[in-house]
Amino acid sequence: MINIRRATLDDVPGMMVQLNEYARQAEILPRTKDDVYRTIREWVVAEKVEDGDLTQSIVGMGSLLIMWRDLAEIRSLVIDPTCQGLGLGRQIVTLLIAEAKTLNIPQLFALTRKPGFFLKMGFQMTRLETLPRKVHRDCVFCPRFHACDEVAVILNYELGITNYEGRRSS
Ligand SMILES: CC(C)(COP(=O)(O)OP(=O)(O)OC[C@H]1O[C@@H](n2cnc3c(N)ncnc32)[C@H](O)[C@@H]1OP(=O)(O)O)[C@@H](O)C(=O)NCCC(=O)NCCS
């Protein structure tokens, strides 16, 4: 059984295993343990509970970083390879979108090498230049800034572009 829930401080060691592996593969930017502890309230995790021995393990996660009053970023979305394709990425993003809505944040973006997944979630491609807050806050400090291979995707449900199930909204 896999539960999607808010992260707790006890999850951090298990989260770091996944985060370090995907950072090593350059799928996400590195996150330090210190950073994850400090931002733990931003994170949602997928936890696998094995039947019988009650062993629990973290098999996926994602975080929502508020950038400004009308903009948030989905960061560090990763699903363990053994659990990909089961809808966990969708469930985590859906929860993060719901949280942004609760906070009245109309726009969410992500920088990703997997834009196809986000397009399925109703995001649209955009140019990094349309996200100056992100560029000035993070990108200019990134060693890959001038050779960035990530794509910017954005979801603006307030403008009725698409909703998070990928359908046209009114
Ligand atoms: C990208 C990732 C988060 C997707 O998570 P997932 O749990 O495997 O995805 P889901 O099962 O929820 O898929 C939801 C939909 O997106 C589609 N999808 C998943 N990955 C996709 C991809 N790379 N390209 C295009 N579509 C994709 C699925 O087919 C599914 O479509 P459907 O609803 O029509 O069946 C996961 O593959 C992953 O962790 N990849 C490595 C790390 C990474 O690249 N993270 C993104 C950095 S921001």
**Tens-digit pLDDT profile for residues 24-41:** 998 898 999 999 999 999
Q: Are 47 and 103 in contact (CB under 8 A)?
A: no
In the predicted model, what is the mean pLDDT of residues 55-80? 94
Q: How far is the CA of 84 from the centre of ligand 1 (A)?
A: 7
User: Which of 92, 114, 121 has most ligand 1 atoms within 8 Å of CB, for mutation?
Assistant: 114
Average per-residue pLDDT for the chain: 89
Of all protein residues, whose CA lies closest to atom 21 belonging to ligand 1?
117
Residue 65: phi and psi, rounded to 5, are -105, 120
DSSP three-state, residue 132? helix
Tell me the pTM.
0.91
Q: Tell me which residue of 160, 168, 68 sits closest to 109, measured CA to CA.
A: 68
Give pLDDT tens digits for 69-98: 999 999 999 999 999 999 999 999 999 999
CA dist 140 and 63 (Å) reads 21
Confidence (pLDDT) at 140? 84
CA dist 166 and 129 (Å) reads 24
Cα-only R_g, the chain: 16
Confidence (pLDDT) at 170? 38
Confidence band (pLDDT; 50, 70, 90) for 164? very low
Give the domains, in start order, of the chain with CATH numbers: 2-156 (3.40.630.30)
Of all protein residues, whose CA lies closest to atom 36 belonging to ligand 1?
79
Q: Are 77 and 114 in contact (CB under 8 A)?
A: no
**Dihedral (C-alpha) 143, 43, 9, 50: value to the nearest 10 degrees?**
-110
Q: How far is the CA of 86 from the centre of ligand 1 (A)?
A: 9
Give pLDDT tens digits for 116-159: 999 999 999 999 989 988 888 888 888 788 888 899 999 997 65
Q: How far is the CA of 103 from the centre of ligand 1 (A)?
A: 25
CA dist 44 and 56 (Å) reads 15
Q: How far is the CA of 12 from the centre of ligand 1 (A)?
A: 23
